[in-house]
Amino acid sequence: MWSSSAGPPPDPLPGKQSFWDGPGLLTDRELIESSLVEPSQRSRFLAAQAPHSGDWLRALPIDNYGLRLDDEAVRVAVSMRLGLSLFVPHNCYCGTLVDAQAVA
């Protein structure tokens, strides 16, 4: 199956998984990139591919150095990174309707 989509593998066979995954990932990337309509979607997609763009996810949560994010901070960071809505419309305890455009 791999040979039919990426051509015959070289001899000797490479031992790195990245070699075998490469052609499929490239195809998936092109498919996703061609489906992006909004400029903000394209910008977010390209930014996520930048070197070290996900390094913040690998930071050790050390309190003494201020590197621990609470659950709410992670929720906001991931939502913003993925372009998701930060708020769900709901009724506030004060009785007003909070819509998805609310600002914290």
Quick check: is 41 in a domain?
A: yes
Q: How far is Cα 27 from Cα 1, in angstroms, rounded to an integer?
A: 14
Quick check: is 88 in a domain?
A: yes
The C-alpha angle 41, 71, 39, rounded to 5 degrees, equals 5
- Is 75 within 8 Å of 88 (Cβ atoms)? no
pLDDT of residue 101: 66
Domain count, the chain: 1
Q: What is the pLDDT of residues 36-53, one digit of tens each?
A: 888 988 888 888 888 998
Q: Which residue range is the domain that position 14 belongs to?
A: 2-98
pLDDT of residue 100: 67
Quick check: is 61 in a domain?
A: yes
Quick check: is 103 in a domain?
A: no
Quick check: is 104 in a domain?
A: no
pLDDT band at 104 (very low <50, low <70, confident <90, very high): very low
pLDDT of residue 57: 81
Percent of the chain with pLDDT over 70: 90
Quick check: is 30 in a domain?
A: yes
- Beta 97-98 vs 90-91: how paired, if at all? antiparallel
Q: What is the pLDDT of residues 59-75, one digit of tens each?
A: 888 888 888 888 888 88
pLDDT of residue 31: 92
Tokens 């070289």 belong to: 10
The verdict on whether omega for the bond into residue 12 sits within 30 degrees of 0, i.e. cis, is: yes
At how many degrees (to 10) do helices 71-82 and 39-49 cross? 120
Dig out the tokens for 3 from the structure: 């040979």
Q: What is the pLDDT of residues 78-89, one digit of tens each?
A: 888 888 878 778
